[in-house]
Amino acid sequence: MKELGKIELNPWTMWWRHSALRSLLRDPAGVAGGVIVLALVIIAISAPWITTQDPIALNLKEKFNPPSLRHPLGTDDLGRDVLTRLIYGARISLGSAVAVQILATFIGCLVGIVAGYRGGALDEALMRITDVFLAFPFLIMGMAVSAALGGGLTSAVLALASVWWPGHARLARSQVIAVKTELYVDAARTIGATEFDIMAKHILPNIFSLILVKTTMDIGAAILSLASLSFIGLGAQAPSPEWGRLVQEGRKVLLQAWWVCTFSGAAILLAVLGFNLLGDGLSEATDPFLRER
């Protein structure tokens, strides 16, 4: 029985056995989202090889140059190449959004799994704390926490993670309550598995797909939230080429250089769209009822 559990509860074995990956590959929207996300990741990783220009070096002789062969997306008010800043900005925006979701998912899943599995007074206490965080408007609380931490990109990441985890906690708790009475959990208790082993090796793999879907879709929202904080001065600071910061800088010179704000906003739009499409594709691919339609 123990060996059977190891085979059945391996999330990656279940992924392929239930044809989730093949279902995702048959979904045009999901594939499109995956291609967009993969392209952005490759661009972010390959930034030094894609462009040889410095994203923060000033060149006042070339300020406000419109899009051309030399500068495909033009230059800003300080003569910096917009395309180069967008490419390097992908590293900051994507990396920061992923960091937010890793922290939020870890905290939320830890709280939700423990609360759902243990139940009782501990569940009640943890969920009331979660409710307190959910009672405040998300972005307003993120702004308050970021300002309290002193502003800057690191503060913005910590601020958003600190207010994002309740959604993950609620999702994890609801799924744990649904699966903790399954026969394989009872079998694990029978053979002497500890509570930690049951939660980590038997329950978590079976709720992993939903957590993955939520985290993937939330990365897009995290990119947008980080850009919002940077736009109002509570996120990345100059001369950082973070996308929200680029939009904020482009707003000041919109009449002289429309391309700075426009292309920066387009990069945010494309990234959010990509993660949303990929998340939708993963949602349908991991839901057996939707796959059978």
In tens, the pLDDT along 122-147 reads 999 999 999 998 888 888 888 999 99
Report residue 232 as tokens.
Answer: 């109002």
* 222 pLDDT more than 70: yes
Question: Would you state the pLDDT for residue 20?
Answer: 64
For the segment 83-108, what is each residue's pLDDT rounded down to a tens digit? 999 999 999 999 999 999 999 999 99
Cα–Cα distance measured from residue 94 to residue 114, given in angstroms and rounded to the nearest whole number: 30
pLDDT > 90 fraction of the chain, expressed in percent and rounded: 53
Q: Is residue 65 part of a domain?
A: no
The mean pLDDT value for 157-183 works out to: 91
Half-sphere exposure of 139 (CA within 13 A, CB side): 14
Residue 164: the pLDDT is 93
CATH number, domain containing residue 264: 1.10.3720.10
Q: Is residue 67 part of a domain?
A: no
Residue 261, CA atoms < 13 Å, CB-side half-sphere: 12
Check residue 111 and give its pLDDT: 94
Range of the domain at 185: 2-56+72-291
In this structure, is residue 263 part of a structural domain? yes
Separation of alpha carbons 74 and 256, rounded Å = 12
Give the integer Cα–Cα distance in Å for 241 and 76.
12
Assess if residue 64 is contained within a domain: no
Phi-psi region of 152 (alpha: psi -120 to 50; beta: other; left: phi over 0): left
Q: Residue 7 pLDDT more than 50? A: no
The total of structural domains in the chain comes to 1
Which residue type occupies 71?
H
CA gap 214, 237 in Å, rounded: 29
Looking at the chain, the whole-number percentage of residues with pLDDT higher than 70 is 90
- Whether the CB-CB separation of 134 and 74 falls below 8 Å is answered with no
Pick 196 or 8 by higher pLDDT: 196
Residue 33 lies in a domain: yes
Residue of 241, 239, 253, 250 lying closest to 84 (CA atoms): 241
What CA–CA distance (Å, rounded) separates 224 from 209?
A: 24
Query: Is the model's pLDDT at 17 over the cut of 80?
Result: no
Q: For 234-284, write each residue's pLDDT tens digit.
A: 998 988 899 999 999 999 888 888 999 999 999 999 999 999 999 888 888
Asked whether 243 and 50 are in contact (CB, 8 A), the reply is no
Backbone angles phi, psi at 115, to 5 degrees: -65, -45
pLDDT confidence tier of residue 30, bands split at 50, 70 and 90: confident
Q: Tell me how crowded residue 256 is: count the other CB atoms within 10 A of its CB.
A: 11
User: CA-to-CA distance for 71 and 89, rounded, in angstroms?
Assistant: 17
Give the position of tokens 């002789």.
61
pLDDT at 51: 87
Q: Is residue 137 a part of any domain in this protein?
A: yes
pLDDT at 5: 42
Q: Is residue 158, in this structure, part of any structural domain at all? A: yes
* In contact, 227 and 270? CB cutoff 8 Å: no
